[in-house]
Amino acid sequence: MVMPRLRTAVDKSYLSVALYLHPDNKLFLRGKRDQVANAPGSASQRFSFVLVMIGLLIFAMAIYHGVRYWQLSNDGVTVRATFIESDWDQDADGSTYFITYAYSVDGELYEQHENVPKNIYDDTVAGAPIVITYSRSDPNTAIIGQPVPFALFIWGGFALIFNLVGWGLYVTARSQNALARRLSDGGILLPGEVERASVKIVDDEDSDSEYDKQLTLAVDYRFTSPMTKKAITARGSADRSDLLAVRNELGMEPGFYAPGDPIVVLYADDKHHVIL
């Protein structure tokens, strides 16, 4: 057995007789896995990074609408535009409506294709007057009617939510991954024992197949802290649907572990440890 870079308070004979809540951790102890199977990394750093990127894109859109609103509010000029055409698009989210109009600034003609609410789309027909506001400093920036901060508030709200959630998950994932590396690269293997165990089976009542059942095994365990010499108790759980066949043989036994059964704990400190 090739042990990973761990300090250990147990010998190979103990490791061979101990029970493992996560059987894949035997591969970790043989050096065939980089981290324990139940490493504290439930918040995926990659997923949280995607949320952060989406949050930044939405934040950029909020800035765009903020600058647009500021321009139209501070140097906006209200004029009458010429209706060109209207059209709409249908997708899974519903219908989107557009109006194309033209206006002249200092003898130069500008044209805009604007997304509008349905009521404006319905009320704007060929020959109908269209009142718009354009920015004197940037005539390409224009809007039907008067500038309102509605879009800014919507994009700003989404930006706030996505960035708070995304960055929160990202920081949590970084912390969990750091702890996982700390456990896997410098943890201490300690002996422990089972206090009690329980089984929970989620059964699909519409099916008789074992593949539609899920078995969760929960184990309360204790071990002695090498730092404080105090007894520490904790709980670990795992999806062990592979034990369903054994469960059928055992009938309604409360669990697969008995009090006093040996287990192995991977320990970083009194607050950070996992059962293997």
7 DSSP β-pair partners: 188
The span from the CA of 244 to the CA of 246, in Å, is: 5
User: Based on the domain organization, do 106 and 150 belong to the same domain?
Assistant: yes
User: Based on the domain organization, do 55 and 135 belong to the same domain?
Assistant: yes
Does residue 166 fall inside a structural domain?
Answer: no
88: left (phi over 0), alpha (psi -120 to 50) or beta: beta
Does residue 125 fall inside a structural domain?
Answer: yes
User: Based on the domain organization, do 127 and 26 belong to the same domain?
Assistant: no
Q: Is 36 exposed, middle or buried (0-12, 13-18, 19+ CB in 10 A)?
A: buried
Query: What is the number of structural domains in the chain?
Result: 2
Please give the structure tokens belonging to residue 157: 């709200």
User: Based on the domain organization, do 59 and 139 belong to the same domain?
Assistant: yes
Domain residue limits at 270:
7-38+187-275
User: Based on the domain organization, do 212 and 126 belong to the same domain?
Assistant: no
Does residue 88 fall inside a structural domain?
Answer: yes
pTM of this structure: 0.56
Taking the CB of residue 6, how many other CB atoms lie within 10 A of it? 16
Does residue 56 fall inside a structural domain?
Answer: yes
User: Based on the domain organization, do 52 and 18 belong to the same domain?
Assistant: no
Are 129 and 144 spatial neighbours (Cβ–Cβ below 8 Å)?
Answer: no
The alpha helices in the chain, defined as continuous H runs, are: 12-17, 25-29, 45-75, 118-123, 150-186, 244-250
- At 255 the pLDDT is 62
Does residue 197 fall inside a structural domain?
Answer: yes
- At 253 the pLDDT is 53
- At 3 the pLDDT is 47
What percent of the chain clears pLDDT 70, i.e. is strictly above it? 85
Q: Is 107 exposed, middle or buried (0-12, 13-18, 19+ CB in 10 A)?
A: exposed
- At 1 the pLDDT is 42
DSSP string, 109-133: EEEEEEEE-HHHHHH--TT--EEEE
User: Based on the domain organization, do 107 and 146 belong to the same domain?
Assistant: yes
**Consecutive 10-residue runs of the chain (276 residues): their mean pLDDT?**
60 84 82 71 66 85 85 89 86 83 91 86 78 90 84 81 82 73 77 85 59 77 88 84 66 67 86 84
User: Based on the domain organization, do 27 and 64 belong to the same domain?
Assistant: no
Is 44 strand, coil or helix? coil
- At 29 the pLDDT is 78
DSSP state of 137: S
